[in-house]
């Protein structure tokens, strides 16, 4: 049992028991009254508020310590609601239709915003991000609230996104009115973000819906260079979230790329000098001689690494170590691109290559 100042209620994955209904109704009432409710999605936990209420949205920024110029995603219970909040020019209709055929999904689409969307949500941009989560708990909450729910990840700004209620409470206890505890999130990394507001559909953040999937579906998809490269000082970005240091644990992180045997030898050498935590593939774990070894799963299954990445990064905060080392996936295909992108940001692009 979690002891907390914020009301915490368990909800089962299918959101269909009488207790689930009661918890969801309480949460939906809170949202309608302008409150903040943390809810699980298939990606990470979200800090939700009424997406049509300026004041409720402002409370999200305050609770997270989020910069005012970083806009929020509007969560909808069904893709048919997209035209209520977005203007869809004829030119992009066929592309949007293809994307909605995937929904619900861990996918966020950026489209021109209708005037009904508060400026606090878009941070004054002409576009709004919309997403229909796969999670039944999330969609049921939105349906019962009867309004779109604005929700960033439920972490303090800059910290790794929470993928379980324990991590939510580390950051949000006393800051949110209620937490719906739906257990561990399936994907563990935030939704894929694609914008249809550029000349070509452009991937802004990789996630569970892969670049290859989108490219196959839409014909030609570009990738923002900010997915794998650091920004130059003052450089303009398509997604304000790209400007900030993100996902960083308390200790500095160094990434290991390339030849694994050489990488292991390097980490073991470093770990003689300092207390280190190492995030590595299961098969390599027995060879690593460090104070803490955290298992990222098999190297043929980066989905497991994705599901654990934020948990592992957060858990290093409670270890008595000076430095964190993490092995990068061997390539950037499929979900590996998302793991790569999050690790690069957590490490401030500090990579040692062999």
Strands 351-353 and 222-223: unpaired
Give the integer Cα–Cα distance in Å for 247 and 279.
Answer: 15
Q: How far is the CB of 150 from Mg ion (least distance, A)?
A: 13
Sign of CA dihedral 117, 120, 123, 129: negative
Question: Which residues share a beta bridge with 127?
Answer: 112
Give the integer Cα–Cα distance in Å for 178 and 302.
Answer: 33
* Nearest one of 183, 210, 187 to 306, comparing CA atoms: 187
Asked if residue 138 lies in contact with residue 75, where contact means CB atoms within 8 angstroms, the answer is yes
When binding is defined by CB under 6 A, the residue of 11, 38, 56, 71 that contacts ligand TXA is 71
**CA end-to-end span of the chain, whole Å?**
45
Question: Which residues share a beta bridge with 253?
Answer: 324
Q: Is 193 in the site for ligand TXA (CB under 6 A)?
A: yes
Query: Running DSSP on this structure, what letter comes out for residue 273?
Result: H
Q: Is 77 in the site for ligand TXA (CB under 6 A)?
A: no
Give the integer Cα–Cα distance in Å for 287 and 202.
Answer: 41
When binding is defined by CB under 6 A, the residue of 6, 50, 191, 332 that contacts ligand TXA is 191
Q: Is 241 in the site for ligand TXA (CB under 6 A)?
A: yes
Positions in 142-161 near Mg ion (CB under 5 A): 153
Q: Residue 239 touches which of Mg ion, ligand TXA, none (CB < 5 to 8 A by kind)? A: ligand TXA
DSSP 232-260: PTT---SSGGGGS--S--SS-EEEEES-H
Residue number with CB closer to ligand TXA (7 or 123): 123
- In order of 92, 133, 142, 327, the CA distances from 139 in angstroms are 26, 7, 5, 35
Please give the residue whose beta carbon sits closest to Mg ion in the complex. 153
Q: Residue 46 touches which of Mg ion, ligand TXA, none (CB < 5 to 8 A by kind)? A: ligand TXA
Q: Residue 263 touches which of Mg ion, ligand TXA, none (CB < 5 to 8 A by kind)? A: none
Residue number with CB closer to Mg ion (6 or 153): 153
Sign of CA dihedral 13, 129, 57, 170: positive
Q: Is 341 in the site for ligand TXA (CB under 6 A)?
A: no
Give the integer Cα–Cα distance in Å for 125 and 149.
Answer: 18
Positions in 142-161 near ligand TXA (CB under 6 A): 151-153
Residue number with CB closer to Mg ion (171 or 181): 171
When binding is defined by CB under 6 A, the residue of 70, 170, 268, 301 that contacts ligand TXA is 70
Positions in 251-310 near ligand TXA (CB under 6 A): none
Q: Residue 130 touches which of ligand TXA, Mg ion, none (CB < 5 to 8 A by kind)? A: none
When binding is defined by CB under 6 A, the residue of 112, 240, 297, 348 that contacts ligand TXA is 240
Asked if residue 328 lies in contact with residue 346, where contact means CB atoms within 8 angstroms, the answer is no
Going edge to edge, which strands form the sheet with 323-327?
292-295, 276-280, 323-327, 253-257, 351-353
Q: Is 163 in the site for Mg ion (CB under 5 A)?
A: no
Q: Residue 70 touches which of Mg ion, ligand TXA, none (CB < 5 to 8 A by kind)? A: ligand TXA
Positions in 95-124 near ligand TXA (CB under 6 A): 108, 110, 122
Q: Is 224 in the site for ligand TXA (CB under 6 A)?
A: no
Residue number with CB closer to ligand TXA (120 or 316): 120
Give the integer Cα–Cα distance in Å for 252 and 270.
Answer: 14
Q: List interacting residues with ligand TXA (CB under 6 A).
A: 41, 43-44, 46, 70-73, 108, 110, 122, 125, 127-129, 131, 151-153, 190-191, 193, 239-241
């Amino acid at each position: 049992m979690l002891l907390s100042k914020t009301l915490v209620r368990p909800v089962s994955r299918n959101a269909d028991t009488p207790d689930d209904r009661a918890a969801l109704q309480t949460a939906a009432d809170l949202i309608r009254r302008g409150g903040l409710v943390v809810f699980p999605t298939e990606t990470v936990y979200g800090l939700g508020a009424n997406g049509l209420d300026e004041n409720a949205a402002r409370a999200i920024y305050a609770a997270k310590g989020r910069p005012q110029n970083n806009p929020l995603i509007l969560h909808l219970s069904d893709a048919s609601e997209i035209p209520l909040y977005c203007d869809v020019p004829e030119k992009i209709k066929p592309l949007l239709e293809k994307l909605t055929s995937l929904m619900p999904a861990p996918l966020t689409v950026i489209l021109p915003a209708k005037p009904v969307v508060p400026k606090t949500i878009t941070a004054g941009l002409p576009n709004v991000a919309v997403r229909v989560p796969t999670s039944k708990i999330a969609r049921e909450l939105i349906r019962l609230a009867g309004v779109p729910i604005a929700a960033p990840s439920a972490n303090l700004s800059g910290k790794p996104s929470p993928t379980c209620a324990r991590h939510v409470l580390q950051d949000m206890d006393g800051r949110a009115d209620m937490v719906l505890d739906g257990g561990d999130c399936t994907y563990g990394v935030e939704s894929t973000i694609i914008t249809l507001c550029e000349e070509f559909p452009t991937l802004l953040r990789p996630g569970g819906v892969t670049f290859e999937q989108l490219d196959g579906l839409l014909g030609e998809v570009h990738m923002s260079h900010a997915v794998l490269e650091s920004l130059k000082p003052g450089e303009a970005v398509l997604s304000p979230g790209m400007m900030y240091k993100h996902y960083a644990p308390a200790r500095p992180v160094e990434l290991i790329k390339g030849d694994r045997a050489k990488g292991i030898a390097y980490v073991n050498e470093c770990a003689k000098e300092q207390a280190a935590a190492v995030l590595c593939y299961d098969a390599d774990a027995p060879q690593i001689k460090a104070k803490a070894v955290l298992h990222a799963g098999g190297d043929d299954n980066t989905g497991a690494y994705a599901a654990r990445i934020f948990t592992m990064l957060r858990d290093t905060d409670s270890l008595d170590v000076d430095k964190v080392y993490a092995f990068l996936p061997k390539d950037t295909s499929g979900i590996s691109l998302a793991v790569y992108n999050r690790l690069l940001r957590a490490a401030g692009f500090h990579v040692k290559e062999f």
